[in-house]
């Protein structure tokens, strides 16, 4: 009887331990890897279209090397739930920022340095965004035949498979149809960084001392800047503190496609595909533009406080001192 009781107790303890085990999340190592949530609004998430395939090493991209390219008709879309394939199926993913010295071995690092410089005309940054299939161990995963691991560099989504690098891009190649017609009266703000400014000294009659870049913009890094790109018809939204890396630092910016641009009396009206509307008015005699923004303006990464006034010439205005503020 005692033996049976002991046996049952042992079984109970084992079952309890097994039932308490849970699948662990990826471990963060010295903040070098961080699992990042994707944009919740799938309507503003990036679509990645196939662009080109390049052989790795001595592989031949001819019929003997790559008999059939399975990626040519694939479009990926990243959103809060993971990744969508051709609007048909979805899969969960891990999205992790990693230094290139951890992600690549020496050979592959040099391969991508050369590929980006020679073919894509960009430089390889210090880090990439790793995309991993959460369900790579499941044969029925819709990503299984496409990739287990991929990565994002700037505006490119790269899949390594069977000795080839398959390149996707979230940008439409610029052509004449992509350009937008901005009225000449607003040439001053086209293809220039528009920085948000505030009233720093209400009583000062000099507008360049009255207005300026405040503590929230310079020190808290909590205000977005804008760039109207006339050549590709995009409105780029980014944080003022990231201005040195725009548009290269693509994981921290938002690219909104402009579908309408027109003059409305003394104002410039812009509308994007995501239904963000901008009404832009210039103040008389000074490079300050009042910008009224309506619609689902993105704030992730770029800042929560949208200024009412912007300038294409921030160097002319006052700047507060951050002193010993370190964020």
**b (16+ CB within 10 A) / e for 129-165:** bbbbbebbeeeebbbeebbeebbbbbbbbbbbbeebb
User: What integer pLDDT is reported at residue 184 of this predicted model?
Assistant: 80
User: What integer pLDDT is reported at residue 249 of this predicted model?
Assistant: 57
**Of 158, 154, 155, 156, the residue nearest 146 (C-alpha):** 158
- Whats the size of the chain, residue-wise? 327
Q: Please provide the distance, in angstroms rounded to a whole number, between the alpha carbons at the two ends of the chain.
A: 67
Least confident of 94-103, 229-238, 274-283, 305-314: 229-238
Q: Give the highest mean pLDDT range of 90-94, 195-199, 261-265.
A: 195-199
User: What integer pLDDT is reported at residue 58 of this predicted model?
Assistant: 65
**Of 182, 189, 146, the residue nearest 50 (C-alpha):** 146
171 φ, ψ to 5°?
-120, 140
Dihedral sign of CA atoms 259, 233, 178, 48 in order:
negative
Average pLDDT estimate for 262-281: 91
**b (16+ CB within 10 A) / e for 23-55:** eeeeeeeeeebeeeebbeeeebbbebebbebbe
User: What integer pLDDT is reported at residue 71 of this predicted model?
Assistant: 87
Provide the percentage of residues in the chain whose pLDDT is more than 70: 76
pLDDT digits (tens, 9 = 90+) for 96-142: 999 999 999 999 999 999 998 888 888 889 999 999 999 999 999 99
Pairing of strands 127-133, 93-99: antiparallel
């Amino acid at each position: 009887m005692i033996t049976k009781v002991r046996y049952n107790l042992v079984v109970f303890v084992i079952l309890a331990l097994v039932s308490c085990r849970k699948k662990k999340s990826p471990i963060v190592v010295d903040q070098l890897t961080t699992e990042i949530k994707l944009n919740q609004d799938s309507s503003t998430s990036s679509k990645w279209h196939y662009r080109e395939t390049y052989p790795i090493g001595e592989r031949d991209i001819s019929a003997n090397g790559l008999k059939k390219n399975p990626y040519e008709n694939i479009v990926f879309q990243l959103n809060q739930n993971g990744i969508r394939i051709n609007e048909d199926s979805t899969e969960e993913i891990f999205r992790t920022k990693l230094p290139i010295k951890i992600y690549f071995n020496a050979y592959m690092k040099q391969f991508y340095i050369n590929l980006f410089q020679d073919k894509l005309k960009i430089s390889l940054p210090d880090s990439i965004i790793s995309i991993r299939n959460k369900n790579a161990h499941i044969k029925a995963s819709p990503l299984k035949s496409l990739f287990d691991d991929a990565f994002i560099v700037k505006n490119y989504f790269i899949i390594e498979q069977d000795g080839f690098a398959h390149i996707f891009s979230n940008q439409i190649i610029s052509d004449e149809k992509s350009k937008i017609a901005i009225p000449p009266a607003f040439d001053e703000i086209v293809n220039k960084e528009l920085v948000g400014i505030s009233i720093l000294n209400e009583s000062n009659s000099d507008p360049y001392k009255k207005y300026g870049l405040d503590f929230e913009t310079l020190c808290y890094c909590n205000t977005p800047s804008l760039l109207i790109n006339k050549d590709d018809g995009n409105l780029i939204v980014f944080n003022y503190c990231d201005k040195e890396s725009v548009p290269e630092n693509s994981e921290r910016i938002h690219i909104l496609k402009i579908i309408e641009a027109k003059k409305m009396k003394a104002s410039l009206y812009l509308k994007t595909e995501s239904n963000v509307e901008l009404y832009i008015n210039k103040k008389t005699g000074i490079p300050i533009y009042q910008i009224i923004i309506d619609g689902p303006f993105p704030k992730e990464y770029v800042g929560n406080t949208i200024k009412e006034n912007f300038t294409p010439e921030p160097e002319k205005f006052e700047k507060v001192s951050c002193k010993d503020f370190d964020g």
